[in-house]
Amino acid sequence: MQQKIIILDFGSQTTQLIGRRVRELDTFCEILPYNKFPKDDPTVIGVILSGSPYSVHDPEAFKVDLSQFVGRLPVLGICYGAQFISHTLGGKVEKADSREYGRAHLQTVDTTNPLFKGFEPNSQVWMSHGDTITSIPNDFEVIGSTKDVKNAAFWCAPDTKLSTLNSQLSTGIWAVQFHPEVFHTIQGTQLLKNFVVDICGSKQEWSAASFVDTTVAELKGQLGQDRVILGLSGGVDSSVAAVLLNEAIGDRLTCIFVDHGMLRKNEFTQVMEDYKVLGLNVIGVDASEKFFGDLAGITDPEQKRKIIGRDFVEVFNAEAKKITDAKWLAQGTIYPDRIESLNITGKVIKSHHNVGGLPKEMNLQLCEPLKWLFKDEVRRVGRQLGMPEHLITRHPFPGPGLAVRILGDITPEKVRILQDADDIYIRGLREYKVKLSGEEARKVLAAGVPAQMEDGEIEVSLYDQIWQAGTVLLSTVRSVGVMGDERTYEHPVALRAVTSTDAMTADWAHLPYDFMAKVSNEIINKVRGVNRVCYDISSKPPATIEWE
């Protein structure tokens, strides 16, 4: 049986990051709502309680019955999780005089405790809370303090008779008020490894190779001799799903790739060639004329999305119906899609096109081979399957394509302008190399970018440092310019590049000035219709990654 860590989600934006860090330790984990602990699952080896946007004193604060697992399984509380443990078991949590946010250092740390094995003196951690634990419960002991936070880390040892639960602990309880999952906590991975591997006893058997072997076997059993249809987008998720299914059922998989006319420059042709090399059975459909016709004169962003979504389903279904013996529809749904779509706070930021069931008229069963994977794991699986690197590292791209990167109505000429400008930008990001060390290098390597460390440095492209980049055409705006001796009156474009771990939050990327100057100059000189280039320095929140 496959071991697993259960992460109970109390609504923190970094809960997915905890999951990714556990998976990086070659250990399977599942993120569940705070009130959905699986009581009778013998594969669970430990429990992590996440942070939360709430205070433990809020009337609507999320609460869990700790007796379900405390004492029976090792438990680690993080931030709110730590405060909830203290508050519930007899400690005291009070509003801090000032919000404890940012870098701090463990001035005292008990390195004899299994949670802090291998920790360096004065190790940097990251705080983010408005409440603080002013006293810990009876039977607990402080094992880490910062200058301002006495109870930064505490634990209750195994075999303790815990008076508040009236039970004998067979395993320990650990709690930290800082966030070990974020990069700013320098030895956060060490702490999580200590908990997951040493304390919980993970055998570290979860890997891309084991996932491929297990999933291919499961798909063969699930699908038998049935035929499967898969809609391809050119993105990493659907591409990896296609190659994985191809390994399992071969030519009984039929892929459909719809070109709505708003892909990146030459993308339809290039991606079709990639799929051919991979040996996939792909039907390419050029439906751009239909999409452009239906979008004519439409400027409202939501209306654009609805038209493109409707047309895509119509075109896809028309092709799918030609495959009369198909019984399954496969999708590239990944784990964050499902977590975000079932957000426990009820505040879903965006809807996902591939979550929530199938059109009834298709009469097909759903197959989602990547539904347990995070994005970086999808990429590792792609490498395990021998896919080309440019497909694996491709940035996320919106389903409606460039239509939501053109402000105003959509025309073939506007798409041509944006494709040309975007092509220069993306090629430039791929070609510009930078050397990284320290925390910056750790971030890139942890995201799964293949790079070799030499003398403490790695060399990667700007493209590989960035979560998502793209160009926006402000087609409703014209700006004055001068080219040669002539006055121009053309459109500005805005360049966008963000760094992120899960797209829930994102920071604008600090691109080098010499790169920005070169790309701006090349776009203005080579793209007919553009005479000004801007750079978007908005983070999410409050701005979204896309402009529409």
Whether the Cβ atoms of residue 184 and residue 103 lie closer than 8 Å to each other = yes
Say how far apart CA 536 and CA 6 lie, in whole Å.
38
Q: What is the identity of the amino acid at 241?
A: A
Spell out the residues 6+ positions from residue 374 whose beta carbon is closer than 8 angstroms to its own. Answer: 16, 19, 20, 23, 334, 335, 336, 502
- CA atoms of 67 and 71, how far apart (whole Å): 8
Structure tokens at 242: 């296609």
Tokens matching residue 60: 């609507």
Query: Catalytic one among 87, 129, 179, 260?
Result: 179
Backbone angles phi, psi at 323, to 5 degrees: -95, 85
Is residue 257 within 8 A of residue 282, CB to CB? The reply is yes
- Whether the CB-CB separation of 86 and 137 falls below 8 Å is answered with yes
Given the DSSP bridges, would you call strands 486-499 and 282-286 parallel, antiparallel or unpaired? unpaired
Give the phi and the psi of residue 391 in degrees, each rounded to 5: -80, -35
Look at residue 532 and give its three-state secondary structure: strand
CA-only gyration radius of the chain, Å: 26
How, if at all, do strands 486-499 and 530-535 pair? parallel
Q: Give yes or no: 181 in active site.
A: yes
DSSP SS3 for 273: helix
Q: CB neighbours (10 Å) of residue 271?
A: 23
Distance CA 275, CA 290 (A): 24
Catalytic pick from 30, 181, 340, 548?
A: 181
DSSP assignment letter at 194: I
Residue 226 dihedral angles phi and psi, to the nearest 5°: -70, 155
Which backbone phi and psi does 252 adopt, to 5 degrees? Answer: -80, -5
Of the residues 29, 79, 156, 367, only one is catalytic, namely 79
29 is an active site residue? no
Tell me the three state secondary structure of residue 439. helix
Q: What amino acid positions are annotated as catalytic residues?
A: 79, 179, 181
